Amino acid sequence: MKKIRYSFILFVLLVTTTINVFAFNAEEAAEELRYFNEIQQEVMQASADLTKVPQTYSRAVVVFDRKSKTVIYGKNENDVRAMASTTKIMTATILLENVTDLSQTVEVSKKAANTGGSRLGLKTGDKITLNDLLYGLMLCSGNDAAVQIAETVGGSVEGFAVMMNKKAQELGLKNTSFVTPHGLDENGHHTTAYELAVLTDYALNNPQFAKVVNTKNYTVTINGTPKDLSNTNELLGYLQGVNGVKTGFTNNALRCLVTSTLRNDFNIITVVLGADTKKIRTTDSMKLIEYTYQNYEQIDIAKLVNEEFEKWKETYKIEINKGIKNDVGIKLGEQKYTIYPIKKEDKENIKIDIQAINYTEAPLLENTNLGYLEIKINDKLIDKIDILANEEVRKKDIKDYFFSMIGMYSHLQQ
């Protein structure tokens, strides 16, 4: 009878707990829905005037186009600021570029286990794979996971920071400096919104990185026990086209969010740094994303340039004096952009201006600069492309003049 009574009590407790968990999850989901509905209203109001850049309250923001590698919009994007857990974009990059086998298991150190802030929940001596550490790093923003990765890959936090800064230099990030793998406030640990966008653009080229940051939920295994993780990125799975990347918060950095969005092959990275609240970072990010896709489109700038250049070539000749040829073939030098983002209203304001010499003397080497082509949008210079000789033209020597005179004489005798 006692066994039946205890079993009944356990059953009641189990049912009660399940109901409470379900109620908690339902309430949490409802709160999240209310949160996004409120933000969506603000975004819709900001989007009412399609030509107006939305007002943002984060201290530094940038919208970066991945194809052209250009800034579509920026505010204080070059200001040096603390970056909080967006640091982990670099941490993950260093891990993925230096470890080929992520399935290997590591033992958690005391230093990693004692790291504060947001955590995966590791304890000293825990066994976990590097792959699960990567998910713990990027989904729940585990600072303990960051330190363990640093010690495993770099030998120490300090050694890992050297690797992070070396990569930053390779990427040309002149205003970025790393001290820690997690981003907790430290003197000398900083970046800019623009350089964080450049780093993210690079990191997303790694398929494994792109896969992890686009994961909403994942189950890791610690000491053989499963643990469910949820991504801290509030826009992932909510806003159309969002496929990453990373949140962040410290008292110094405030609220931060790096977002990758892809719609109709138009991929942008949005960075907001220094937001006072989570709501502000979310709203600012959504405003910038919707503004960009409503107002901008990508054009095949290389096609426009080549078509204009070919038309110009049909009527323009560059005469060569004293050469074995009287004129020279020409070509365009390297173009900076193939695809370029442009405001829809500015499509009629693209101007292509071509300037070149019409006379020169031999000898002429291949790739000699003969002029330039300029692309302007609303009188803003977008690119300046060299016009080059596509062949070598040798200067006539005495033999060339001799055979030329024989040819002229033969022609006169006919």
Active site members: 85, 88, 141
What are the helix (H) ranges across 100-192? 110-113, 130-138, 143-154, 157-170
- Burial label, 391 (beta-carbon count in 10 A; 0-12, 13-18, 19+): middle
Q: Using CA atoms, how far apart are residues 89 and 359, in angstroms rounded to an integer?
A: 54
Radius of gyration of the chain (CA): 30
Q: Using CA atoms, how far apart are residues 197 and 193, in angstroms rounded to an integer?
A: 6
The terminus-to-terminus CA distance of the chain in angstroms comes to 131
Q: Provide the sign of the torsion angle of the four alpha carbons 94, 99, 104, 108, taken in this order.
A: negative
Q: Pull the structure tokens for residue 263.
A: 């719609």
CA dist list (Å): 113 to 109, 177, 231, 250: 6, 25, 21, 19
Pairing assessment for the beta strands 359-361 and 296-300 based on DSSP bridges? unpaired
On the CB side of 222, CA atoms within 13 Å amount to 17
Q: Write the CB contacts of 370 (distance below 8 Å, at least 6 apart in sequence).
A: 318, 328, 330, 356, 357, 360, 387, 388, 389
Percent of the chain that is helix, strand, coil (3-state, to 5): 40, 25, 30
CA dist list (Å): 43 to 47, 282, 286, 395: 6, 10, 7, 67
- DSSP letter, residue 83: -
> Beta-carbon neighbour count of residue 213 at 10 Å?
25
